[in-house]
Structure 1
Amino acid sequence: MVRVLSGEEEWIGKQVVDIAFHLHKKLGPGLLEKVYESCFCYELNKRDIPHSVQLKVPIMYDGVMFEEGLRLDLLVGDLVVVELKAQEIYHPVWEAQLLSYLRLSNKRLGYIINFTVPLIKDGIKRMVL
């Protein structure tokens, strides 16, 4: 089944990918995740795109709210979840985590961006719920 996203979700998604390409070109691979996160937020600010960093999302389970639920690296425009990585080895569990994050935060579009790759296009995974 093809999932149709809103124009705003698609626009934010394009901005996220553009920023990832820009940062990778300027900084290259091999830095700490926190450096990429700070620079990513700087680029979002330059583009006047609202975002939240290290956003805590409570989890409702069995009618009980758990505040220590999960933490999103970035929530961009209150619509798109972005998980930033700086790892040499890609872990498939990241995809399962992102799908869980999307489901639990009621968002539909998410990205895993791993900056520790020679070509950033190989480090970007887009996922739609």
Structure 2
Amino acid sequence: MELTKTYLKDLTYQINGAAIEVHKELGPGLLESVYHKCLKKELSNRKISFKSEFSVPLNFKGLDIETDLRCDLLIENCIVIELKAIEALAPIHQAQILTYMKLLKAPKGILYNFHCINLFNEGQKTFVNEYFKNLPE
């Protein structure tokens, strides 16, 4: 599989479908951990590969540093997913996903906040970075 902008667009569509299905079934008001477990199940059902809650590697001045940074989901080694179930997203949440994308060299990230009425319109933000800009169409 060649990593292209088109591939990422199609994969994003599939991931959004899985997240919307989870939100449609559960609605708002539950803990982030519940949405996380259900989204992992839905992604598996759709045959979308992912890694979950793994330690994000950090290299500081050539040294590998052990951290407590945890990525909620990394889809097919190219899209970072960060999950929230909170009243409102804050700028720190955007900074968090952008940093994870940089550390993991992932071209795309999706931030979901399941504490909303309509996940697609109000509870989802997509981000791209310099890795994305350099990909072929």
TM-score, normalization by structure 1: 0.91
Report the equivalent of 2:126. Answer: 126
TM-aligned CA deviation for residue 96 of structure 1 = 1.0
Structure 2: stretches of 5+ with no match in the other structure: 130-137
Runs of 4 or more above 2 Å deviation? 5-8
TM-aligned CA deviation for residue 69 of structure 1 = 5.7
Query: Match of 2:28, SS?
Result: coil
Query: Match of 1:68, SS?
Result: coil
| 1:21-36 pair list within 5 angstroms | 21-36=20-35
| 1:83-98 pair list within 5 angstroms | 83-98=82-97
TM-aligned CA deviation for residue 92 of structure 1 = 1.6
The residue type paired with residue 124 of structure 1 is Q
Between Structure 1 and Structure 2, the one with more strand by share is: 1
Structure 1: stretches of 5+ with no match in the other structure: none
| 1:56-95 pair list within 5 angstroms | 56-68=55-67, 70-95=69-94
Aligned-partner Cα distance in 2 for 1:48–1:118: 27
The 8 Å contact of residues 53 and 74 in structure 1, kept in 2 or not, is answered as: yes
> C-alpha deviations, 1:6-33, integer Å up to 9, x for none?
3332222111111111111110000111
Report the equivalent of 1:7. Answer: 6
The 8 Å contact of residues 59 and 69 in structure 1, kept in 2 or not, is answered as: no
Report the equivalent of 2:47. Answer: 48
Query: Match of 2:74, SS?
Result: strand
Identity in percent: 36
- In the comparison of the two structures, how many residue pairs are matched? 126
TM-score, normalization by structure 2: 0.86
The residue type paired with residue 89 of structure 1 is A
